[in-house]
Amino acid sequence: MTAINFGEILVYFALIVAITPLMGGYMKRVFGGEKTLLDPVLRPIEGGLYRVCGIDAGRDQSWVEWTIVMLVVNGASLVILYCMQRLQRILPFNANHFGAVSPDSSWNTAVSFTTNTNWQGYSGESTMSHFTQMAGLALHNFLSAATGIAIAVAVIRGIAREKAKGIGNFWFDCTRAILWILLPVSVVAALYFVSRGVVQNFKADVAVQTLEGKAQKIPQGPVASQEAIKEFGTNGGGFFNANSAHPYENPTPGTNFVQMILIFAIGAGLTSTLGKMTGSVRHGWAVFAAMAILFWAGVVVCDVSERRGNPIHQKAGVEASAGNMEGKEVRFGIGDSTLFATVTTDASCGAVNGMHDSFTPLGGLVPLANIATGEVIFGGVGAGLYGMFVFIVLSVFIAGLMVGRTPEYLGKKIEAHEVKLAMLSVLVLTLFILGLSAISSVIKPGLSSLANHGPHGFSEILYAFTSGAGNNGSAFAGLNANTLWYNVSLGVDMFFGRFFMLIPILGIAGSLAAKRKVPASAGTFPVTGPLFAFLLVGVVVIVGALTFFPAFSLGPIVEHLTMKAGTLF
C-alpha cells in the first residue's frame, strides 16, 4: 500500500467518522417525529400521501403486523416490476424499441431490485428501456432502501422501548425514509454527478464512427438520477453493464470518492442513531468501532494482495511488478479499485468500479468474505445494523455464559427465545448460500455457463449465491448467470436471503420491546467499551469462519496456493 493510497483511505474514513453523528442525529429526529429543517416542505406532502392512501401512520403496530405490511408492500412492488418488464415493448420512453424481457430474467430482476440486491444478469443498456430504468429499477431503489432503513429503526425501537406492544408503524417509517433522507441527498448527488459529466437525458443510442472507421453505438439515458440512489441507497445496480467502471456512470476520481462516501453514509449513521435512540451513545460508537476494525482489515488485505500481483508474472531476479491491474480502470488504479471493492461489499451495495473476477485469489476473497459475514461491516441501508444486531445478541449471550448469568443487553434480558431467533437468521443465509452453491457445482445447468473451471470456477458460483443471499449484487462476472437455472435459483436465493433472514430479527425486536428494563449489576457485561467491540468482532469472524471456511478452502484459498506453485485456472 502506497503512502498516497493510505492517506486517501485515512481521509475517507475520517469523513465517515465525521458524517456518522450528523446522519445519526438527523435520522433520530426524523423517525422520532421531531422538528427538522425540511418539515415545512415535506410534512404537507407526507400528510397528503397518508390521506390519499387512507393510512393511519400514527397507529403503533405489533412486530407481526409491521412485518406483514412490509411483506405485502414489497410483494406487490415485485409483481409490478415483473409486469413492467414483460410489457416493456408497449410502454412509453422506449427510445431504443427494446422488446419484452424474458420471463426468467424478469423474475430474477424483479426479486433483485425488490430485495435491495440489484443483481443483474443482463446488460442494462441493451435490455431495459428508459421507462423501466426510471419507473421500475430506480423507483425500487428508493423503496427497497427505505424498507431496510425502516427495519433498522423498528429494531432500535424494540431495544429502546419498555413493556411496549408495538415497534412503530411501517408506513410512517418507510415514507419518512424516502422523503426526508433518500430523496434530498439523491437530488443533490445527481446534480453533482451531472456537473462532472454523468449523462442524464432521454435520448436513444447515438451512432458514431470510431477512429478506426467502424460504427459504434453510445448508450444514452437517465443515468445520473439512478447513480445517486444506487449508491446512497446501497442498491448497486448499474445503468450500464460495466456499472461504476463505465465513464458515463463514474467519470472521475472525484465522482468515485463521492460514490464511496454515499455508500457508507447511512450504514455508519445508523450506529449513531442506535446510540442516541437507546440513550447509550457510547454503545453506538462501540458498534461503529467493531465495524471499523473489520473494514480496515479487509481493505489492507485486499490492497496488499493486488499490489503483489501474480508471482507467475514476475521473473526471477527482476523487481516486483506494478501489481495486478487486470480488470481495473487506469483512471482509478489499484488503490481506488481495492478501496471501492471493500466498501461496496462491506455494504450491501454491489456497485463495482473494477471486475472482482480479475482480482488475485486473496484479493477476491476479501469481497467474498465481506458479503458472507452478512454484510454487517457498516452494511447496507439498515441491513448492516439489523444484521449486526444478530451478532450483538450472540455476543452478549456468550458473555453471559462466561459469568454464569442471564445475558443482558441495554437493560433487557436476552433469553433462549431471542438466541434461537438470532441463530435462525444466521442459518437461513447459510442454507441458501451453501445449499444452492453445492447443487450448482454438480449439475449440468450450473456448470455449463462457467468461464473458468477448477477452484476459480467454484469461487464464481459461491460468490454468486453469497452475493444474492447477502443482498449485495456484485459478481465474479466470469459466470454467465443469465440462464434459466441461474435466473430462477438466484431469484429464490435473493428472496429468502432477504425476507426469511429479517423476519426472526423483527421477532427479536418485538420480544425486546415487550420486556421491562432491569438495572445493571456487577454481573452485567458492559456493551460500551473496547472489550465489547473486540468480542463483537470475534463473534462475527468465528461464526463466519465456522460457516464458510470449508467453502473458501475449496475456492480462493486453494487457488492462492496453486498460484504460488505456478498453476492458474
The set of residues, in sequence order, having a beta carbon less than 8 Å from that of 480 and lying 6+ positions away, is 449, 450, 451, 486
pLDDT at 316: 46
Cβ contact 188:539 at 8 Å: no
Look at residues 7, 10, 15, 4 and name the one whose alpha carbon lies nearest to residue 259. 15
Backbone angles phi, psi at 184, to 5 degrees: -60, -45
**DSSP per position, 260-279:** HHHHHHHHHHHHHHHHHHHT
The domains of the chain are located at 20-256
Q: Which three cell numbers stand for residue 85?
A: 418488464
Who contacts 148 (Cβ-Cβ below 8 Å, separation ≥6)? 116, 234, 380, 381, 382, 383
* Amino acid at the residue 447: L
Q: Which of 117, 540, 533 is nearest to 292 (CA)?
A: 533
Other C-beta atoms within 10 Å of 40: how many? 9
The residue among 474, 424, 453 whose CA lies nearest residue 263 is 474
Question: Rounded distance, CA 141 to CA 145, Å?
Answer: 6
Tell me how far the alpha carbon of residue 508 is from its chain's centroid. Answer: 22
pLDDT in tens, the chain (569 residues): 788 888 999 999 999 999 999 999 999 999 999 999 999 999 999 999 999 999 998 899 999 999 999 999 999 999 999 999 999 999 999 988 899 999 999 999 999 999 999 999 888 788 999 999 998 999 999 999 999 999 999 999 999 999 999 999 999 999 999 999 999 999 999 999 999 999 999 888 888 888 888 888 888 889 999 999 999 999 988 888 889 999 999 999 999 999 999 999 999 999 999 999 999 999 999 999 999 999 999 999 999 999 988 887 765 444 555 788 888 998 899 999 999 999 999 998 889 999 999 999 999 999 999 999 888 899 888 888 888 999 999 999 988 887 777 788 988 899 889 999 999 998 988 999 999 999 999 999 999 888 888 899 999 999 999 999 988 989 888 888 899 999 999 999 999 999 998 999 999 999 999 999 888 777 788 889 899 999 999 999 998 878 899 999 999 999 988 888 777 76
pLDDT of residue 315: 55
Which segments of 38-138 does DSSP mark as H helices, in order? 39-53, 63-86, 103-114, 130-131
The contacts of residue 158 (CB under 8 Å, 6+ apart) are 63, 167, 508, 509, 510, 511, 512, 513
Give every CB contact of residue 420 below 8 A, 6+ residues apart in sequence: none
Task: Output the pLDDT for position 123.
Answer: 84
What string of DSSP letters covers 487-534? HHHHHHHHHHHHHHHHHHHHHHHHHHHTSPP----TTPPPSSSHHHHH
DSSP H/E element including 9: helix 3-31
Residue 320 confidence (pLDDT): 52
Return the sign of the alpha-carbon dihedral for residues 431, 437, 440, 442.
negative
pLDDT at 317: 46
Question: Which residue in the block uniquely carries the three cell numbers 464464481?
Answer: 460
Pairing of strands 215-218, 412-413: unpaired
Structure confidence at residue 318 (pLDDT): 45
Provide the grid cell at 155: 429494531
